[in-house]
Structures are given as C-alpha cells and as structure tokens.
C-alpha cells in the first residue's frame, strides 16, 4: 500500500496567518491526491481533488499543489472556522490511503 | 440534496457480528460506487471497503478481508457493511461515502464499540 506522510502533525496558528502543510507519498501518485477537512465532531469534507482543483463551494483561500510524491496544501488567510484536522489521501491506486492528518490549533 | 445516513452501530462483544446500513437519498444511487471509511477514536481515517455501482465488484482493506462484507440494495438505495468476528481494533466510527476513491459526500458516521 502507498504510505502518505503528512507534516507537521500539528500547528499553532493565528487568524490571518498563511498556513502551509505537506504530504509525501511513498511512491509516485501522479496528481491523484485529495485534501479533506474534518472539524471536531463532524464528518470529513472534500476541499481539493487531483492535487490542485478546488471542490464546489470551497473558498479560494484554500489551495493545493504538487505532483509525483510531494504535495502542499495552503490556507492563505486563516479564519477561525478553518480550525480542523486536514488529511491528504492518494486516489492513484487501490487501496486509497490517508495521511495521518495535520491539526490546526489556535496560538 | 445528497444525504447519507448510517445506522446500526453500538456496543458489541468481541467475536460477535454487527451490520451497518447507510440510507442514501438525493442522487441516483445505482450510478455510484460506494465506500466505507472508518476512524478509530482520536485517530485518522482509514478506507475499509468499496463496492461498485452494480454490486459486481468489491474491494477490502487487508485487515477486514474475510470478516467484513460490503453489499448494496439499489432498489432501496441502501449500502451495508456486515461485520463478523469483530475485534477490539475494529472499534471506530464508520462513515459511508459516495464514490470509488473521491469522497465528495459522507454520512455523519455510526460508532461501533467492540468490547466485553
């Protein structure tokens, strides 16, 4: 199975910050990486698909980039409602595998 | 509006069985592959199983092969997960999700606790 390694595991941030997190695949997954947001007590929500495509209704402060084995997810202007755990997931080959998550916390 | 509503979770003893259901509405159920994804308490997400739109193909993570069975009833727009020989490590919230590997819609989840 493809292993997805996210870093950092947590970040202390302030409203208005630019937030960047990373995801590294154990083998080439092309552009087949998606990003999900999970707020406390809620189910995950798709934000970005195929590395850089924003899903319907997702604010443009959320962006994704990368290909091959290295991927980046950025929130350009952190809002309080963005506090959550963010997961990357590779959908290049079965089984789909998730990273361990990056938790955003307020400073 | 797309809705996925899971049910059937609860407390079950190790070695016993449990069957989860996911009632779908708001879309043409038999046009989509469906999946189950789980999340152990305070842990990350793990894909569990997927079934093709017509039920002809199924896929499982290694740790549940031979113990879990994913199925669907397209006439009832309902997805199922039959879980047999449950282990403590199966304790998790189980989400149903629409899609084969792009999960644009998720249910609210149902908690399965395996404990004596």
Q: What is the rounded average pLDDT for all residues in chain B?
A: 97
Gap between the Cα atoms of A39 and B37, Å rounded: 16
Say whether pLDDT at A71 is over 90: yes
Write the pLDDT tens digit of every residue in A44-53.
Answer: 999 999 999 9
Instruction: State whether B102 and A46 contact (CB < 8 Å).
Output: yes
Q: Give the nearest partner residue to A96 out of B47, B108, B109, using CB atoms.
A: B47
| Chain B contact for A89 (CB, 8 A cutoff) | yes
Q: Which residue, among A94, A96, A97, would best test binding to B if mutated, counting the most B CBs under 10 Å from its CB?
A: A96
Model pLDDT, residue A17: 96
| Lowest model confidence (mean pLDDT) among A92-96, B26-30, B51-55 | A92-96
Query: A45: distance to nearest CA of chain B, Å?
Result: 7
Query: B48: distance to nearest CA of chain A, Å?
Result: 9
CA-nearest residue to B109 within chain A is A43
Write the pLDDT tens digit of every residue in A8-56.
Answer: 999 999 999 999 999 999 999 999 999 999 999 999 999 999 999 999 9
Tokens of A102: 């990056």
pLDDT band at B101 (very low <50, low <70, confident <90, very high): confident
Q: Determine what percent of chain A is predicted with pLDDT higher than 70.
A: 100
Q: Max Cα separation, chain A? A: 38
Say whether pLDDT at B78 is over 90: yes
Write the pLDDT tens digit of every residue in B87-99.
Answer: 999 999 999 999 9
Query: B79: distance to nearest CA of chain A, Å?
Result: 18
Say whether pLDDT at B38 is over 90: yes
Instruction: State whether A46 and B47 contact (CB < 8 Å).
Output: no
């Amino acid at each position: 199975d493809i292993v997805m390694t996210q870093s950092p595991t947590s970040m202390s941030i302030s409203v208005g910050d630019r937030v960047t997190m990373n995801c590294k695949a154990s083998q080439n997954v092309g552009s087949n990486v998606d990003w999900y947001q999970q707020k406390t007590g809620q189910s995950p929500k798709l934000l970005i698909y195929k590395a850089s495509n924003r899903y319907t209704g997702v604010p443009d402060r959320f962006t994704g980039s990368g290909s091959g084995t290295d991927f980046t997810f950025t929130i350009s202007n952190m809002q309080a409602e963005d506090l959550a755990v963010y997961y990357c997931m590779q959908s290049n080959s079965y089984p789909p595998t998730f990273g361990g998550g990056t938790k955003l916390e307020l400073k | 509006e797309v809705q996925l509503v899971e049910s059937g979770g609860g407390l079950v003893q190790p070695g016993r069985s449990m069957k989860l259901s996911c009632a779908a509405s708001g879309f043409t159920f038999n046009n989509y592959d469906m999946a189950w994804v789980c999340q152990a308490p305070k842990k990350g997400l793990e894909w569990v199983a997927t079934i093709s739109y017509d039920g002809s193909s199924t896929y499982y993570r290694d740790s549940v092969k031979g113990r879990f069975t994913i199925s669907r009833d397209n006439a009832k727009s309902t997805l199922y997960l039959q879980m047999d020989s449950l282990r403590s490590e199966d304790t998790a919230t189980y989400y149903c999700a629409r899609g084969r590997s792009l999960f644009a819609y998720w249910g609210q989840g149902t908690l399965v606790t395996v404990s004596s």
